[in-house]
Structure 1
């Protein structure tokens, strides 16, 4: 039994919980003090380099989440009868299903993301919208062109759910975790003790490299591991250095 069972269905929870978690976790980062000693870019750089206002970013994220909600509710409802016929799997089995979903999502997003960079038309008219945030921040994690949001995130999530064979209840955990990880990767802060930085090479600094001019052809993997980047030689290692004026900078390793 889970705490929401008496209030909403697993299908509704799987649809709307990731949206709520997104705004809570991104809002947490947004409300933090400047924390200049832990920023990968100065606040001035964020204001000067980014090519889209904050209000437009919020609207873009809400549009993507609307589409995601429609698809998620339709998919989870369509598979509801199948889920109801299956006994809720054991914890080890759910963990295994989540790991499968993570690998499937990484695989889908790596190749779609990479192709959007390699195809000049798609990059210019679709993917470049996400790169208007030269200096990423948490609220902008899902700021994409609607077509990219549909292909990369929504379809990728649906395929991960179907291939892994997870139930709607397990999907609540998986999609909320994926959202938290994605927001963290775009937060622009290298905070001490961040558990994602301890367990994932695909982290805030890794993704920050991709948003910079010198790293735009590298580090396509998202949101969990770096497997495909390393196998296909698009991984760009980096090191963190302290800026004289304070804060940190993720610098690609040459060669």
Structure 2
């Protein structure tokens, strides 16, 4: 039994829990003090380099989440209506389903993301919106053009859910984890003890390289692993170099 049982369905929880968690976790990073000694970019760089104000970022994220919620609720409830009584699989099976979903999502997002960089029309008119945040920050993780949000995140999540065969209850765990990981990848901070940095090479600094001019055609992988970048030659290794004034810079290591 879970705490929401009897109050809301798994389908409703799977739709709205990731959205609520996005703003809680992203808001946590947004409200932290400057923490200059852990930042990949200074506050001044964030203000000078970013090409879109915070208010526009918030509106863009809310629009994407509206589309995501609509699709997720339809998908989850449709499957529930056709499945009859749902038996929750064992913990081991759920873990396997989540791993499969992670690999499927990574594969989908890598190739769609990479194509949006290679196709000049799509980059100029669609994907460049996300790169207006030259210095990423947490609540801007899902700041995308609506078409990109639909193709990359919404469709990617739907395909991961369907291919893995997970139940709506397992999907709550998966989508909440994916949201937290995505927000963390854009937070711009290398905090000591960050569990995502300990277990995932694809992390804040990895994605920061991609947002900089030097790495625009590298490090496409998101949000979990770096498998496809390494297999297909788009991986750009980096070193974290301490800045004299505090913080770090992710310096690309080129062959």
Q: Same fold (TM over 0.5)?
A: yes
1:14 and 1:5 map into 2 onto residues whose CA distance is 12
1:85 Cα offset (Å): 3.1
4+ long deviations beyond 4 Å: none
Q: CA deviation at 1:244?
A: 1.3
Which residue of 2 is the match for residue 154 of structure 1?
Answer: 154
Deviation of residue 87 (structure 1)?
1.2
CA displacement at 1:81 relative to structure 2: 2.9
Give, in angstroms, the shift of residue 246 of structure 1. Answer: 1.0
Q: Deviations over 1:87-137 (max 9, x none)?
A: 110000000000000000000000000000000000000000000000000
d(CA) in 1 for partners of 2:60 and 2:251? 29
Q: How many Å apart are 1:84 and its aligned residue?
A: 4.0
Looking at structure 2, the residues matched to 186 and 162 of structure 1 have their Cα atoms a distance apart, in angstroms, of: 27
Please show how residues 4-23 of structure 1 align to structure 2 within 5 Å: 4-23=4-23
User: Equivalent residue for 2:217?
Assistant: 217
Distance in structure 1 (CA, Å) of the matches to 2:83 and 2:201: 34
Contact between 1:83 and 1:167, CA under 8 Å: does it hold in 2? no
Q: Distance in 2 between matches of 1:229 and 1:147?
A: 24
Is 2:118 aligned against 1:97?
no
TM-fit CA distance, 1:64: 0.1
User: 1:76-225 to 2 correspondence within 5 Å?
Assistant: 76-225=76-225
* Offset at residue 172 of structure 1 (A): 0.3
**In the alignment, which residue of structure 1 is the partner of 2:26?**
26
* CA–CA distance in structure 2, aligned partners of residues 84 and 243 of structure 1: 58
Q: Secondary structure at the match of 1:250?
A: strand
- Structure 2, gaps ≥5 residues long: none
Aligned residue in 1 for 2:243: 243
Counterpart Cα distance in 2 of 1:105 and 1:70:
19
- Alpha-carbon distance between aligned partners in 2 of 1:56 and 1:69, rounded to the nearest angstrom: 20
For residues 66 and 175 of structure 2, the distance between their equivalents in structure 1, rounded to whole angstroms, comes to 15
Q: Give the TM-score normalised by the residue count of structure 1.
A: 0.99
CA deviation map 1:197-251 (0-9, x unaligned):
0000000000000000000000000000000000001000000000111111101
* Equivalent position of 1:72 in the other structure: 72
Q: TM-score, normalised by structure 2?
A: 0.99
Contact 1:14 1:168 in 2 (8 A): yes
Q: Counterparts of 1:36 and 1:217 in 2: how far apart (Å)?
A: 28
State the alpha-carbon separation in 2 of the partners of residues 205 and 12 from structure 1.
34
Q: C-alpha displacement at 1:83, in angstroms?
A: 4.4
Cα distance in 1 for residues equivalent to 2:220 and 2:143? 16
Separation (CA, whole Å) in 2 of partners of 1:10 and 1:134: 37
